[in-house]
Amino acid sequence: MDLRQLRYFVAVAEERSISRAARRLHIAQPPLSAQLRGLERDLGATLLTRHRRGVDLTAAGEELVLHARRLLGDVDVATLAVRSVGEGATGALALTFAPDLASTLIPELLRRYRDDRPDVILDLAEADGDEAAQRLRTRRADVILLYRPPTGADQEFEEAVVGRTPVLAFLPVDHPLAAEDRLDLARLAEHSLLVPGAGPAGIGGALADSARQACELARVRPAELRGVTLVQTTIGLVAAGLGIALLPADLPALPGVTTRPLRQHVPPVEAAARWRRTEPPSPVLRQFLRTALATPEPNVLGPT
């Protein structure tokens, strides 16, 4: 007895006719009759009473149809469940992302992923730099999203760029340089540069590296380099008139802050997904990466 025979038998039981069941199953009548006889032979019981108008179920047939429907239903449920896991439609994904991405890349990415995979359970956490990498190493995260340093990829993990954003100058609206169409980085020699990173104890992180690289490319040293812990704090200090910041164009500017493109060419800031190199991505992770890599890149410097 196999699943095909059970499906054939249930169709005949429901149609009460071998010919009608054959049409429903899209097979010829003789093979269907042969399968039914084989099923009766395997079970050692007569399942159908054949007559001119069709067939009737025997007591053994009535018993078998009850079990067959339950078995076939369980098989269908198992098939769908296994297929969903294999396609990454169900399961769990532990995602750690840099706090600086919470107002830019993350909302739209998660919205599109949830629309595509609503049954995946998301375990979200915020962490950056070494802390995010450690979560990935210790399997507390399946994938991390963070700004990519200008120096390139970390060979410990697989990496893919999922977002690329131009660098703008964030200035107070009443700053003298706000009147210029483009900011010349050479003017930073006269002003303070606010840099989000590891705080006053030591500037670090991808955005700090990006600002430092911009200054090196322009061969300029700011009058003052002030480390700030968070991006939003940095923009707040810009609004307070305490300096200028070089930040990704997709960050929201607070009231009192304006942005200007740079006169010099500066490499864009890149956001990257990283996952463990030592194992193949799970189906859930593969689907998430497919969504993340489909994130459209901006083709303008800002909303205008």
- For residue range 20-36, what is the model confidence (pLDDT) as tens digits? 999 999 999 999 999 99
Does the pLDDT value for residue 198 go beyond 80? no
Does the pLDDT value for residue 81 go beyond 90? no
Q: Is residue 29 part of a domain?
A: yes
Q: Tally the domains of the chain.
A: 3
| pLDDT tier, 201 (very low <50, low <70, confident <90, very high otherwise) | very low
Whether residues 17 and 66 fall in one domain: yes
* Residue showing tokens 């169409």: 181
Q: Is residue 281 part of a domain?
A: yes
Q: Is residue 195 part of a domain?
A: yes
Whether residues 98 and 34 fall in one domain: no
Q: Is residue 265 part of a domain?
A: no
Q: Is residue 303 part of a domain?
A: no
Sign of CA dihedral 234, 238, 242, 244: positive
Whether residues 152 and 276 fall in one domain: yes
Alpha-carbon distances of 141 from 8, 122, 192, 199, 239, rounded to whole Å? 47, 11, 37, 25, 35
DSSP codes, 170-221: EEETT-GGGGSSSB-GGGGGGSEEEEESS-TT---SHHHHHHHHHHHHHT--
**What's the pLDDT at 153?**
59
Q: What is the CATH number of the domain that holds 32?
A: 1.10.10.10
The mean pLDDT value for 59-87 works out to 82
Cα separation, 128 vs 144, in Å, equals 9
| pLDDT tier, 89 (very low <50, low <70, confident <90, very high otherwise) | low
Whether residues 108 and 66 fall in one domain: no
**What's the pLDDT at 136?**
92
58 HSE (CA, 13 A, CB side): 9
Q: What is the CATH number of the domain that holds 196?
A: 3.40.190.10
- Terminal alpha carbon distance of the chain: 69
The mean pLDDT value for 110-117 works out to 90
The mean pLDDT value for 204-232 works out to 85
Q: Is residue 278 part of a domain?
A: yes
**What's the pLDDT at 202?**
39
Mean of the per-residue pLDDT values of the chain: 86
Cα separation, 30 vs 42, in Å, equals 18
Does the pLDDT value for residue 151 go beyond 50? yes
Whether residues 99 and 77 fall in one domain: no
Which of the listed residues 39, 66, 86 is the one where a domain comes to its end? 86
Which of the listed residues 53, 86, 119 is the one where a domain comes to its end? 86
Give yes or no for a contact between 245 and 231, defined as CB atoms under 8 angstroms apart.
no
- For residue range 125-145, what is the model confidence (pLDDT) as tens digits? 998 888 899 999 999 999 999
Residue 12 phi, psi (nearest 5): -65, -40
| pLDDT tier, 84 (very low <50, low <70, confident <90, very high otherwise) | low
Q: Structure tokens of 134? A: 């450690």
Range of the domain at 284: 91-163+271-293
Whether residues 46 and 190 fall in one domain: no
Residue 228 phi, psi (nearest 5): -130, 145
Q: Is 61 helix (H, G, I), strand (E, B) or coil?
A: helix
Low-confidence winner among 35-44, 81-90, 239-248 (lowest mean pLDDT): 81-90
Whether residues 275 and 128 fall in one domain: yes
Q: Is 119 helix (H, G, I), strand (E, B) or coil?
A: coil
Whether residues 276 and 147 fall in one domain: yes
For residue 96, with 0-12 CB atoms within 10 Å meaning exposed, 13-18 middle and 19 or more buried, which class applies? buried
**What's the pLDDT at 104?**
87
**What's the pLDDT at 210?**
87
Does the pLDDT value for residue 283 go beyond 70? yes
Which of the listed residues 30, 55, 86 is the one where a domain comes to its end? 86
Cα separation, 42 vs 76, in Å, equals 24
Q: Is residue 299 part of a domain?
A: no
Q: Residue 17 pairs with which residues in a beta bridge?
A: none
Sequence-ordered list of residues with C-beta below 8 angstroms from that of 245, at least 6 positions apart, any chain: 169, 170, 193, 194, 195, 196, 211, 234, 235, 237, 238
**What's the pLDDT at 73?**
86
Does the pLDDT value for residue 119 go beyond 70? yes
Whether residues 145 and 14 fall in one domain: no
Cα separation, 284 vs 88, in Å, equals 4
Does the pLDDT value for residue 302 go beyond 50? no
| pLDDT tier, 200 (very low <50, low <70, confident <90, very high otherwise) | very low
Whether residues 171 and 256 fall in one domain: yes
Whether residues 159 and 280 fall in one domain: yes
Whether residues 179 and 39 fall in one domain: no
Cα separation, 227 vs 240, in Å, equals 16
- For residue range 235-246, what is the model confidence (pLDDT) as tens digits? 999 999 999 999
For the chain, what percent of residues have pLDDT higher than 90?
Answer: 37
Q: Is residue 122 part of a domain?
A: yes
- Residue whose C-alpha is closest to residue 133's, from 123, 121, 145: 145
